[in-house]
Amino acid sequence: MGSGQGTSNLSQEQANKLDELYRKSYQETEALRKEMREKREELASLFRSDNPDKNLIDQKINELNRLESDLDEKMAAYDVERRKILASEPPEQVRNKGWGGMYYGQ
């Protein structure tokens, strides 16, 4: 299973649903994560320039913040769906099963 969900106590149906959800979410956020990496590189380049332009830096920060907000919304939607699948699990186990490194530029 690619989701890193720690599914040893799950039914096969739950494990399959989690895997499908993970794969779908990963694919849906792939372009967004790539764009975030590119914006971070652009921002770093702006800071390294001989004469950093504060307006350009602020613009890039705002672009990056918008992308991070979009990703946060997608992460929240993923987590809600994941929790639905894990509804029969004890609450402490649901809280401990995270995104499995899917997000934030990976």
Mean pLDDT score of the chain: 84
pTM above 0.75, yes or no: no
Q: Which fold has domain 12-96?
A: Four Helix Bundle (Hemerythrin (Met), subunit A) (1.20.120)
**Tell me, what's the pLDDT at 89?**
62
CA angle, corner 28, sides to 103 and 79, nearest 5? 55
Nearest alpha-carbon partner for 75 in 35, 103, 33: 103
Ranges of residues in the chain whose predicted pLDDT is under 70? 1-8, 89-106
**Tell me, what's the pLDDT at 63?**
98
